[in-house]
Structure 1
């Protein structure tokens, strides 16, 4: 089959990393084209879509004028490429390619890799109408009503060996993820302030691109107000293989996730973790014999207590091996190839 894996984003978040992994998984059996504003793309397209999260109604309305042009441009690309399957990994790409696909005869099969909750209301019904099937990455994510689906956990990339920092893990705390409100770096900063009253050596590193400039600026102001300038480092975006370099305890204060690859990697590396008690984190730890007490409410005092407990308690034996097995890249590739054939064979 001719399979197109497109994205409008030029950033390398979790969904983009899984898209690239899916492309490599499918290449041995299919003619695969990645079309994206990425260096790894087979066809590099212009970066015309904002990388800043569309977290408000006004941001979504502001990009609407671009959609018509994007749909027209990608309709021409589809007529040239003539894919049998379009495998999308984000909602903007689902809208653009789902609409563009309707102009082709025969119409390509649209497979939606669901990296977030399917949502509700008219927008959710539209998204479901644009797709022919979907892949869920976590059991807590319900598929759109009436849409065929399969559950395939995200693959873990090869883990480059990183030296473990010496000393108290409180001195090498880290949050890995884009600096946006959803990732909860502000909660980690508030928790750090509480920890430093008894542990003045505690230090926090924030690893990730600053995709929301307003949020990042507010975070810096709050850090200054708490007199934490010397205790917090903004490390910026790192290559995926070095994201956890120098981190001895990983903190995941997210307000919402689907299946966070960063948490998967931290657990696979055997790092102690403290994380928010949200459905994605709970689903990820379920069945691994992990300590559910490491998941806490989105309250700074609770997060600080969880960080302190994680620093004093090693992770459960064999937890890292169980996580690596569940998110094995070879299993992901085999399952995705088989499921692709199943979806296409369905009437």
Structure 2
């Protein structure tokens, strides 16, 4: 018997898919059996309305047979589809995980999700960090009692060395800046490339990841004469090896929920330069240097100046990476799994008290015959 079914929008790489896999591996240690399902084979596979209806009915039938204790859906559209099916199948706990700040999500599905939470169809909304939770409550104050914040966990947080055991900083003449993520407009990598181009210090840039923006970013790098190496997608071992050869991690994304990559970079012993957005601060607090991303040429200049300053100041880099390591226990997979497991214990209900909340009547009000 499966206790928890996690549903992701599509198979393949991605932050929420990574979180689902990590949670799937961590829950059994708490006596919770888990399974991960994808609604689509790939990100580009879009089902027709008929296919979607057939899939929805299939989920209802499947969960009536399996009788899981909980369905956990990652992303709003996935949650609307799978959690309404879970309600019809009378799954007690119906959890929607929100990985992005509400302001960066599509408003239609997110608004429908909050309506379903108020109606009792969704029993819990789980933002992956405090900033995401605050954005949800800002969207609709009535959903506050449905919200439980559970920070994402990453195995790198458990494997991070003690601060005292960090290797010494490299002393090469050229400082290597590294970044990682999908090459899409929202990651704002053109700012980072321009900042490296404007640095007065000898700096090289390594970009780990792939995506539709790669050709444009490679062209920009050549035009600016920047020493940039695009690695493409890397497995976890290769990514860790790339971190080991770098001096500074830079992350210029415009919007994030709780970026796993910052946990991984900090666990690798890298000081971090990041965009000044709430999701990044949720991870690293005061242990990183934060800079604006919405000030055009002014932002590029400030990023260049910060890179120059850190290139000259190994003491600041060393202090930053040691401070970041102290924050990592909050992002362990075990702690994440314990947070989710707590949601599935006992009956699902909504009240004004503390603890696990979210209504689960025998038959949801919107399904009762008049």
Q: Which bin holds the TM-score, normalised by the shorter protein?
A: 0.7 to 0.9
Does 2:319 correspond to 1:316? Answer: yes
Runs of 4+ aligned structure 1 residues displaced above 4 Å come to: 62-70, 119-122, 160-165
Q: Per the alignment, do residues 273 and 308 of structure 1 end up closer, same or farther by CA in structure 2, a change over 3 Å counting?
A: farther
Structure 1, unaligned runs of 5 or more: 37-44, 52-61
Deviation at 1:324, TM superposition (A): 2.0
Cα distance change on mapping 1:46 and 1:156 into 2, 3 Å = closer
- 1:309 to 1:167, Cα distance in 2 relative to 1, 3 A: same
For the pair 1:150 / 2:141, whether they are aligned, the reply is no
For 1:127 and 1:171, locate their aligned partners in 2 and report how far apart those are by CA, in whole Å.
46
TM-superposition CA deviations, 1:262-320 (whole Å, max 9, x none): 1122223321221111121223333xx425xx101112111112222233222427414
Kindly tell me: are residues 323 and 242 of structure 1, through their superposed partners in 2, closer, same or farther at Cα, counting changes over 3 Å?
farther
Residue number in structure 1 paired with 2:307:
307
Residue 210 of structure 2 aligns to a residue whose secondary structure is coil
Distance (Å, rounded) in 2 between the aligned partners of 1:344 and 1:94: 17
Partner of 2:37: 35
- TM-score normalised by the chain length of structure 1: 0.79
1: CA distance, partners of 2:210 / 2:5: 27
Matches within 5 A, 1:18-57: 18-27=19-28, 28-36=30-38, 47-50=41-44
In structure 2, the partner of 1:331 is 335
Residue 234 (structure 2) aligned to one of 238, 248, 256: 238
Partners of 1:156 and 1:131 in 2: how far apart? 26
Alpha carbons 2:249, 2:273 under 8 Å: kept:
yes
Of the two structures, which has the highest relative contact order with CA contacts closer than 8 Å and spacing of 6 or more? 2
Contact 1:177 1:207 in 2 (8 A): yes
Residues 164 and 112 of structure 1, relative CA distance in 2, 3 Å threshold? farther
* Structure of greater Rg: 2
Q: How many residues align structurally?
A: 316
CA distance, structure 2, for counterparts of residue 184 and residue 296 of structure 1: 13
CA separation in 2, counterparts of 1:94 and 1:249? Answer: 37
Residue 225 of structure 1 corresponds to: 223
In the alignment, what sits opposite 1:85? 70
Which residue is 1:54 aligned to?
none
Residue 273 (structure 1) aligns with: 272
Would the aligned equivalents of 1:74 and 1:96 in 2 still touch at CA under 8 Å?
A: no
Task: Determine if the alignment matches structure 1 residue 140 to structure 2 residue 131.
Answer: yes
Matches within 5 A, 1:141-180: 141=132, 142=134, 143-144=136-137, 145-146=142-143, 148-158=146-156, 159=159, 166-168=170-172, 170-180=174-184
Alpha-carbon distance change, 135 to 118 in structure 1, aligned in 2, over 3 angstroms: same
The alignment yields a C-alpha RMSD, in angstroms, of 3.0
Contact 2:153–2:336 at 8 Å: present in 1 too? yes
Larger helix share, 1 or 2: 2
In 2: Cα distance, 1:310 partner to 1:254 partner: 20
